Amino acid sequence: MDGDASGGEERYVFLRVEKDEDLIFLWGPDAIQFTEAVEAGRLPGEIDGKDVHLSALSASHVEVIKSDSDQVMFIWGGPVVLQRIGK
């Protein structure tokens, strides 16, 4: 992208996505929880100011992100909602 501050590096954002009828719900990541998971060693990566850079993830790391049992990794209040208007 032009004006991208990543310096040409690939960047990804994790979202929780759920589909219901004609709606798609998107929840953004909770940066504090991701930061704490990296600092505690539950996820591989590094902290750069307010940014969290995750390293390569194994299946067990993906389960940490998907799991709701340990830490809530996504901001549940106020999801982005997309609605299909036509078929």
Q: Residue 51 corresponds to which tokens in the numbers above?
A: 């940014």
**30 contact partners, CB below 8 Å, separation of at least 6:** 72, 73, 74, 75
Cβ(24)–Cβ(82) under 8 Å?
yes
Residue 64 lies in a domain: yes
Residue 23 lies in a domain: no
Q: What range defines the domain where residue 73 resides?
A: 29-82
Split into its structural domains, the chain has a count of 1
Q: pTM of the entire structure?
A: 0.73
Residue 11 lies in a domain: no
Residue 19 lies in a domain: no
The DSSP output letter for 76 is -
Residue 58 lies in a domain: yes
Residue 51 lies in a domain: yes
What pLDDT digit, counting tens, does each position of 32-66 carry? 999 999 999 999 999 999 889 999 999 999 988 88
Residue 15 lies in a domain: no
